[in-house]
Amino acid sequence: MYEGVIGQLIDQLGKLPGIGPKSAQRIAFHLIQSDRIEVEELVEVLRTVREKVKFCQICGNVSEEIECRICRDPRRDLSTICVVEESKDVVAIERTREFKGRYHVLGGAISPIDGIGPEQLRVKELLARLANTAIVEVIIATDPNLEGEATATYLARLIKPMGITISRLASGLPVGGDLEYADEVTLGRAFEGRRNLEF
Amino acid sequence: MALYRDQAVVLRTHKLGEADRIITLMTKSHGRLRAVAKGVRRTKSKFGARLEPASHVDIQLYVGKSLDIVVQVESIENYGDVISADYQKWTVAHAILEGGERFTNNEHEPATQQFLLITGALKALAHQSHDPLLILDAYLLRSLSIAGFAPSTADCSICGEIGPHKYFSLVGGGSVCPRCKPSASATPNPATLQLMGDLLSGNWNRADLSEVKSRREASGLVAAYLQWHLERGLKSLPYVERNVFTTESAI
Ligand SMILES: [Zn+2]
Ligand SMILES: [Zn+2]
């Protein structure tokens, strides 16, 4: 529809998650009409974020260091791991101040229809952590939807033979929703009321 | 405003923007279609829970400019809870739901037979009526059959000579007699071909008694046959859990 560089910009923006063609167009024209300095700031931050931000070697969370802030913190409880789908879920749970252990970020949920199986997630890394350290409890905090439930089912079955307590966040979270949208109170309660998974 | 109502199974969902989802549905009378469900990721409305993959729903849609909009949803059967609590069933369900997309060529083209196959398979899966892997192969064979690619499992698919025959050919359309057989033909166990025939015709009494050996061989033939007729095959098929689970085998 649009030729040349504007068309390219719209195409690139349209590749971003949650951005359809109309939004891409709107953002493109917003950028074209924006202050030059603002656009340069955006370009700069995009460049640095790609250069600087890596994934924590221990938990897979986003981090500017080899190990993330939470994994480096000596006050965190080393006996508990909370398994989440994405880094943004770590942020949501940290807001509740309910959890004192460390995290493990899977990088998504199991969804064969999208070509995502256990091998595409950081499952092997999780098992390695559980085998090598003194973990007593694993809390599975995948999203309260079917992919999240199925991923929890899969992980629980893997971890159970290792003699580690496995729990799942209590219900009360909006079913079919995203963990990141749960408010602090609900999410905090879900932690307190977590239930052991029996398989 | 133009509204319509239908029964549907949710095949898959995609995130859209901040809090919406695009829901791919296989409807009973309006074929496969995509619709927008607004606000389902953020609110506590039961809407979201009813629109998860494998949900069988009664749904009301508003005809939108590009995609239709979900107005109201009532749950008919919620298979998701049972299925997501059993990893093998979950992987089988994904292959069936993906099949719903792949066996229908165009959106809005009525595909009632495919809708009935999917709901039947999900029901059997949730109620543990048969081995999940048999349910999957029955679904795939019957979908191929609806699409006009039913493999012959007894008579020669080329000359019609009454079987059973020793040879099975992907290119030749299934069972083939020694005279017609293309050079690359498999020689499956006769019990395997009988099982495939039973799955196609719905002879569950006999299929349920089949041996593991025949089930494995039938699954292999069905997968190969599917790959031959469905370009790119099914993405979920390699993820279907086929073996009895052990911690070691999963790593
Ligand atoms: Zn970390
Ligand atoms: Zn012949």
User: Across the interface, do A177 and B41 touch by the CB < 8 Å criterion?
Assistant: yes
- The number of residues making up chain A comes to 199
Whole-number pLDDT of residue B250 = 43
**Element (H or E) spanning B35, and its range?**
strand B32-37
Whether residue B249 has pLDDT greater than 50? no
Helix axis angle for B212-229 and B132-146, nearest 10°, is: 30
Whole-number pLDDT of residue B248 = 45
Q: Output the six-digit token pair for B233.
A: 């095959």
Whole-number pLDDT of residue B157 = 93
Proportion of chain B above pLDDT 70, given as a percent? 94
How far apart are the CA of A198 and the centre of ligand 1, in A? Answer: 28
User: Do residues A197 and A170 lie in contact, with contact meaning Cβ atoms separated by under 8 Å?
Assistant: no
CA A56 to mean position of chain CA atoms: 13
Whole-number pLDDT of residue A102 = 96
Collapse the DSSP code of B157 into the 3-class scheme (helix H, G, I; strand E, B; otherwise coil) and give the result: coil
User: What domains are there in chain B, each with its CATH number?
Assistant: 3-80 (2.40.50.140), 130-250 (no CATH)
- Higher-pLDDT residue of B14 and B201 is B201
Rounded to a whole number of angstroms, the distance from the CA of B133 to the nearest CA of chain A is 15
User: Do residues B115 and B27 lie in contact, with contact meaning Cβ atoms separated by under 8 Å?
Assistant: yes
Dump pLDDT digits (tens) for B23-75: 999 999 999 999 999 888 765 666 777 888 999 999 999 998 889 999 999 98
User: Across the interface, do A150 and B17 touch by the CB < 8 Å criterion?
Assistant: no
CA distance B78 to A6: 46
Q: Which of A131-135, B213-217, B236-240 has the lowest mean pLDDT?
A: A131-135
Tell me what ipTM this predicted complex has: 0.86
User: Across the interface, do A176 and B87 touch by the CB < 8 Å criterion?
Assistant: no
Whether residue B159 has pLDDT greater than 90? yes
CA distance B242 to A113: 16
Rounded to a whole number of angstroms, the distance from the CA of A151 to the nearest CA of chain B is 8
| Integer CA distances (angstroms), B177 to A180, B59, B150, B155, B221, in order | 60, 49, 17, 8, 18
| The residue type at B221 | L
Tokens 């099949």, located at residue: B99
Dump pLDDT digits (tens) for A73-98: 999 999 999 999 999 999 999 998 88
User: Across the interface, do B42 and A23 touch by the CB < 8 Å criterion?
Assistant: no
Average pLDDT of span A41-65: 91
CA distance B6 to B59: 6
Dump pLDDT digits (tens) for A144-162: 888 998 999 999 999 988 9
Mutation for B interface: A123, A127, A146, A199, most B CBs within 10 A:
A146
User: Do residues B234 and B102 lie in contact, with contact meaning Cβ atoms separated by under 8 Å?
Assistant: yes
Collapse the DSSP code of B186 into the 3-class scheme (helix H, G, I; strand E, B; otherwise coil) and give the result: strand
The pLDDT mean for chain B works out to 90
Whether residue A174 has pLDDT greater than 90? no
Average pLDDT of span A105-118: 95
- Higher-pLDDT residue of B16 and A137 is A137
| The residue type at B215 | R
Proportion of chain B above pLDDT 90, given as a percent? 73
Whole-number pLDDT of residue A70 = 96
Rounded to a whole number of angstroms, the distance from the CA of A163 to the nearest CA of chain B is 12
Mutation for A interface: B50, B70, B90, most A CBs within 10 A:
B90
Whether residue B247 has pLDDT greater than 50? no
User: Across the interface, do A114 and B235 touch by the CB < 8 Å criterion?
Assistant: yes
Average pLDDT of span B139-143: 97
How far apart are the CA of B205 and the centre of ligand 2, in A? Answer: 30
Whole-number pLDDT of residue A9 = 92
Whether residue A197 has pLDDT greater than 90? no
Whole-number pLDDT of residue B70 = 93
A88 CB neighbours in chain B (<8 A) are none
User: Across the interface, do A17 and B18 touch by the CB < 8 Å criterion?
Assistant: no
Give per-residue burial for B122-153: e unless 16+ CB within 10 Å, then b. Answer: bebbbeeebbbbbbbbbbbbbbbeebebbbbb
CA distance A133 to A119: 22
Confidence at B244, pLDDT banded by 50, 70, 90: low
Other Cβ atoms within 10 Å of A93 Cβ, number = 24
- Give the helix ranges, DSSP H, for chain A: 4-14, 21-33, 36-52, 69-72, 87-96, 123-132, 146-159, 184-192
User: Across the interface, do A153 and B87 touch by the CB < 8 Å criterion?
Assistant: yes
**Element (H or E) spanning B5, and its range?**
strand B3-16
CA distance B14 to B16: 6
User: What domains are there in chain A, each with its CATH number?
Assistant: 4-52 (1.10.8.420), 73-196 (3.40.1360.10)
- Higher-pLDDT residue of B195 and A171 is B195
B53 CB neighbours in chain A (<8 A) are 113, 146-147
- The number of residues making up chain B comes to 251
How far apart are the CA of A185 and the centre of ligand 2, in A? Answer: 71
Dump pLDDT digits (tens) for B66-125: 899 999 999 899 898 889 999 999 999 999 999 999 999 899 999 999 999 999 999 999
Whole-number pLDDT of residue A19 = 82
Residue B46 forms contact with A (CB below 8 Å): yes
- Chain A: residue nearest B18 by CA? A18
CA distance B69 to A195: 37
B17 CB neighbours in chain A (<8 A) are 18, 20, 23
| Integer CA distances (angstroms), B230 to B92, B223, B233, in order | 18, 10, 5
Residue B75 forms contact with A (CB below 8 Å): no
Rounded to a whole number of angstroms, the distance from the CA of A26 to the nearest CA of chain B is 14
Whole-number pLDDT of residue B190 = 94
Preceding peptide of A144 cis, ω within 30° = no
User: Do residues B136 and B95 lie in contact, with contact meaning Cβ atoms separated by under 8 Å?
Assistant: yes
Whole-number pLDDT of residue A51 = 86
Its pTM stands at 0.85
The radius of gyration computed from the CA coordinates of chain A, to the nearest angstrom, equals: 20
Residue B36 forms contact with A (CB below 8 Å): no
User: Do residues B236 and B91 lie in contact, with contact meaning Cβ atoms separated by under 8 Å?
Assistant: yes
Query: What is the phi/psi pair of residue B112, to 5°?
Result: -60, -40
Whole-number pLDDT of residue B23 = 94
User: Across the interface, do A153 and B86 touch by the CB < 8 Å criterion?
Assistant: yes
User: Across the interface, do B94 and A157 touch by the CB < 8 Å criterion?
Assistant: no
User: Across the interface, do A113 and B19 touch by the CB < 8 Å criterion?
Assistant: no
